[in-house]
Structure 1
Amino acid sequence: MNNKLSFLSLVILLAVLTACHKDDPTPNPENTRNILFSVRIPDASGMSGSVYTLLIDNIDAATYDNKTAIPTAYATPPVIIDDYVFDLPGLTTETDIIKKYVRVNGQLVFEKSFTCPAGSGAISLVTKGDKAYVALRGLGLILILNHKTMAEIGRIDLSEYGVGDRNPDPAMMLIRDNLLYVGLNQIVGGMTPDPKRAKSDVVIIDTNTDAVQKMITDERGYSMPTNIMGDIQSIFMDENKDIYINCMAGLGYIGHKGGLLRIKAGETVFDNSYEFCVTDKTIEGIDYPLDCLRDMVYTGNGKLYACASVSGYYSPTPDYSADRVVVSLEIDIKNKTVKKLDIPRGNIFATAVGRYGDNILFGLATQTGNGFYTYNQKTKAISESPVINTAGFPFCFKVFKD
């Protein structure tokens, strides 16, 4: 257990990204290289290393190296806004620079950058018009940029909403009806929430005034709302404009519930009629309880696809590259069911999930290869091995909205 607990900080820092949700993710055949994916190559410690990001045309069977890729942040996957790609520094890098690239003729071309305050830990970015809201988790701030010019236009101080310290650890965000919803991880005394406080906090900001409207708290035993690092789909909105929030619960190490909470359309409070705990379920084909849901993508009609970690699969002396602890899931958020897909388990460094047309892409590092497996939602066909083979552990998969 001590070995596993010692890995907690590493796992938290390396919680990986999933693909972003698109209203209509059907690829446009007239455009090329509308897919972005990244791969991670950890160093010996696993706490740092290299990430390479490149653009490709399709998901046909292929093997890719990193010769034409660009280096991006190790801890936080890139964010796509229109034809722009924002590379956020995250918490494990040695820089506080946000880099902005533009997609030109199938290539990512550097355009501008912005240097955040030291120790910012910029981990998520969402936009409204020309404004970009950036969560500075290290400082307890929301930075406001003009993302066209990459100039600062404001800051929102969240320090008064911190529990146990003056930093509530803002994480993933979503804008609905001109309100910005920000998950607060409330990390204290290391890299987990207080084990004695099994609560989930979300702060709501009026984007017309950039003033905090209020903080809401759910007290049903869940904690750490939205992914601790990188997965922008850990807070998502369904076709009814209901917001769902993935609570990571200290990655299963502190006895809190993990799963989904909801904020219904037109409301700014947690929906007390809905909770979906996934960490106490017995799931066919999985021998131990889930730690938490990690990367995910919502595809409509209540279907959510996700990777989850299962610490029961670690060896007595964990080998984080060799131990296969990540499972692939199909989840029905309406009927509250979880089904394991027949895809090999992967290691903790690769948990990417994305969507391309009818296919769900699971980026995994398994015993049969590193890369992206496919699950077809219509035919239910699952690839036996990676369709897209990568030179490194899959880190994210995203599709430009052409």
Structure 2
Amino acid sequence: MKNLFKNIFLAASLSLALSACGDDTGSNADDNGSGKDSESANYALSFKVDNAQYYGVGKFTDNQKKLIENFDEGPSTGTVAYFDGAVYTLMVSEDFSSTTLSRYELDKKGRMPEKATATYKITSGPSLMFIFVDKDKMYVEEPYGDKLTALNPKTLKKLGEVKFTPDKGAQLAAPSSAVIRDGKIYVSLAQMIDIEQGVGSPYGTVAIVDIATDKVEKVIKEDKTAYLGIYDDMNNTMAFVDENGDIYFYAMAMFGMLGEDYKEGYVRIKKGETEFDKDYVLRLNECAYKGKRVEFGGLMTGGAYAGDGKYVALFGTFEDPSNMNNYEWQPILIDLKKKKITNLDLGPTLSWLAPSIHLDTDGTVIFGHNDGKKSAIYRYDVKANKLKKEMDVSSGDAFFIVPTKD
């Protein structure tokens, strides 16, 4: 494993969102806000403080600095999720050689135990993503192992695996963004041509796997974008299924650093189809923002689809791709039906806070934000177009904010 690709893959845990053309509107801030009762709601929370990550369960009404004093400490690179009464963490070792998946079964009051109730170690290298099929099956993605590993979600015992074969000339077929539809998992494969330089294929590849048999049914390709996925996290916002049953995959095109042959954009697999829609591609850098064409190659990082064509995300560009600490990513609302982009009433934030963006159980969107002066957790009510601050973050930044409710 070479350092450049590994560092880019792990540094931000980026996820991407779907965009369209339009103009922004005015303020949507409201100190009263709306959304669920945070007095009674528990969340699986993760905060990055320097080179560490502190994770546990708490409420937005808790004192954040005191809260993390009782949280578990893990490496700065890792994932936090919730499923069926348990919190799951996927933490990468300091030398990037392995990853440990842990399950913490919550008690009747929604509290995490001190020790994990089950663990599974991945020895193929760093991993950031997993996806739940149901109470009997989940998949962990192993990008450096060219495979998905099937596990029992409760015991984390291995059930099987799905192996992928790199294309001719590629060193790796790294599984990344994935969605489940009609008994099949659609997983993007980043065909890495040069791992050391982080160069993938100038085309997109998706494997379609039958969940019942763990067999690859077919691998489909498209040439409208560069390789799909890879800069993703547990949001899986480089791939999602909308309410119509259509699947969308996004290509970030290596932050636009690889030249004209590497195109960004979204491609689609329509409901009932197992091939890419040849007539569809949506390129974010061809859209208008604030009434103007985006000439600098705009990209999306992080996001949550809230239904009815509405998407909350970050919008910006890596002017300096080697610096992950630029405050240049604007929180926005995208109306996919009206093809309109609207700024949320917050200033630009950090790109690597993208994993914090999650859809809450009431349909609002929660996310962490840091504008260089203050750090906090916000809730955005898409239907009411209202923004509310939920928690001041005085120590570090909110990295994962996950509702612990089925």
Q: Which interval holds the TM-score relative to the shorter structure? A: 0.7 to 0.9
Alpha-carbon distance change, 277 to 338 in structure 1, aligned in 2, over 3 angstroms: farther
Verify: 1:377 aligned to 2:382, yes or no. yes
Distance 2:43 2:278 in 1: 38
Query: Is 1:308–1:327's contact at 8 Å kept on the other side of the alignment?
Result: yes
Amino acid paired to 1:300: G
**Alignment of structure 1 residues 124-163 onto 2, 5 Å:** 124-158=130-164, 160-162=165-167
- Give the corresponding residue for 1:76: 78
Cα deviation, residue 345, structure 1: 0.9
Per the alignment, in what secondary structure is the counterpart of residue 186 of structure 1? strand
- Give the corresponding residue for 1:168: 173
Query: Is 1:120–1:139's contact at 8 Å kept on the other side of the alignment?
Result: no
Verify: 1:14 aligned to 2:16, yes or no. no
Query: Is 1:17–1:396's contact at 8 Å kept on the other side of the alignment?
Result: no
Amino acid paired to 2:210: D
Alpha-carbon distance change, 9 to 272 in structure 1, aligned in 2, over 3 angstroms: same
Number of equivalent positions: 377
Residue among 325, 330, 334 paired with 1:327: 330
Cα deviation, residue 202, structure 1: 0.7
Distance 1:393 1:192 in 2: 30
Distance 1:346 1:257 in 2: 25
Alpha-carbon distance change, 230 to 185 in structure 1, aligned in 2, over 3 angstroms: farther
Cα deviation, residue 35, structure 1: 1.6
Residue among 366, 371, 388 paired with 2:371: 366
Cα deviation, residue 320, structure 1: 4.3
Query: Is 1:331–1:339's contact at 8 Å kept on the other side of the alignment?
Result: yes
Distance 2:394 2:278 in 1: 43
**Alignment of structure 1 residues 45-64 onto 2, 5 Å:** 49-57=51-59, 59=60, 63-64=64-65
- Give the corresponding residue for 2:313: 306
Cα deviation, residue 251, structure 1: 2.3
Residue among 213, 216, 223 paired with 1:219: 223
Query: Is 2:81–2:89's contact at 8 Å kept on the other side of the alignment?
Result: yes
Residue among 374, 381, 395 paired with 2:399: 395
Cα deviation, residue 393, structure 1: 2.1
**Alignment of structure 1 residues 188-337 onto 2, 5 Å:** 188-190=193-195, 194=199, 197-225=201-229, 227-255=231-259, 256-284=262-290, 289-312=296-319, 320-321=324-325, 323-337=326-340
Alpha-carbon distance change, 120 to 9 in structure 1, aligned in 2, over 3 angstroms: closer
Query: Is 2:178–2:187's contact at 8 Å kept on the other side of the alignment?
Result: yes
Note the residue ranges of structure 1 that are not aligned, 5 or more in a row.
1-5, 20-25, 43-48
Distance 2:62 2:336 in 1: 31
**Alignment of structure 1 residues 88-107 onto 2, 5 Å:** 88-90=90-92, 93=96, 95-104=98-107, 105-107=109-111
Q: Percent identity?
A: 21
- Give the corresponding residue for 1:45: none
Cα deviation, residue 305, structure 1: 1.0
Alpha-carbon distance change, 7 to 284 in structure 1, aligned in 2, over 3 angstroms: farther
Distance 2:350 2:86 in 1: 30
Give a deviation string over 1:188-244, Cα, whole Å, max 9, x none.
Answer: 32367647x421111010011110001111111343336344432321111112112
Query: Is 2:264–2:283's contact at 8 Å kept on the other side of the alignment?
Result: yes
Distance 1:340 1:61 in 2: 29
Query: Is 2:15–2:232's contact at 8 Å kept on the other side of the alignment?
Result: no
Distance 1:31 1:167 in 2: 47
Distance 1:75 1:162 in 2: 29
Alpha-carbon distance change, 301 to 398 in structure 1, aligned in 2, over 3 angstroms: same
Distance 1:28 1:381 in 2: 13
Q: Over the residues paired in the alignment, what is the CA RMSD in angstroms?
A: 3.2
Query: Is 2:306–2:365's contact at 8 Å kept on the other side of the alignment?
Result: no
Q: Comparing 6-15 with 386-395, which one deviates more in the overlay?
A: 6-15
Give a deviation string over 1:268-311, Cα, whole Å, max 9, x none.
Answer: 11122322211333412998635532211011101111123422
Verify: 1:39 aligned to 2:42, yes or no. no
Distance 1:390 1:17 in 2: 23
- Alignment TM-score, normalising by the size of structure 1: 0.82
Structure showing greater relative contact order (alpha-carbon pairs closer than 8 Å, 6 or more residues apart):
2
- Alignment TM-score, normalising by the size of structure 2: 0.81
Cα deviation, residue 354, structure 1: 2.1
Distance 1:11 1:390 in 2: 27
Q: Comparing 353-362 with 324-333, which one deviates more in the overlay?
A: 353-362
Cα deviation, residue 9, structure 1: 6.0
Alpha-carbon distance change, 74 to 309 in structure 1, aligned in 2, over 3 angstroms: farther
Cα deviation, residue 36, structure 1: 1.8
Q: Comparing 348-357 with 91-100, which one deviates more in the overlay?
A: 91-100
Query: Is 1:370–1:386's contact at 8 Å kept on the other side of the alignment?
Result: no
Distance 2:77 2:285 in 1: 25
Amino acid paired to 1:34: N
Alpha-carbon distance change, 367 to 74 in structure 1, aligned in 2, over 3 angstroms: closer
Per the alignment, in what secondary structure is the counterpart of residue 186 of structure 2? strand
Query: Is 1:72–1:78's contact at 8 Å kept on the other side of the alignment?
Result: no
Query: Is 1:91–1:138's contact at 8 Å kept on the other side of the alignment?
Result: no
Distance 1:132 1:319 in 2: 34
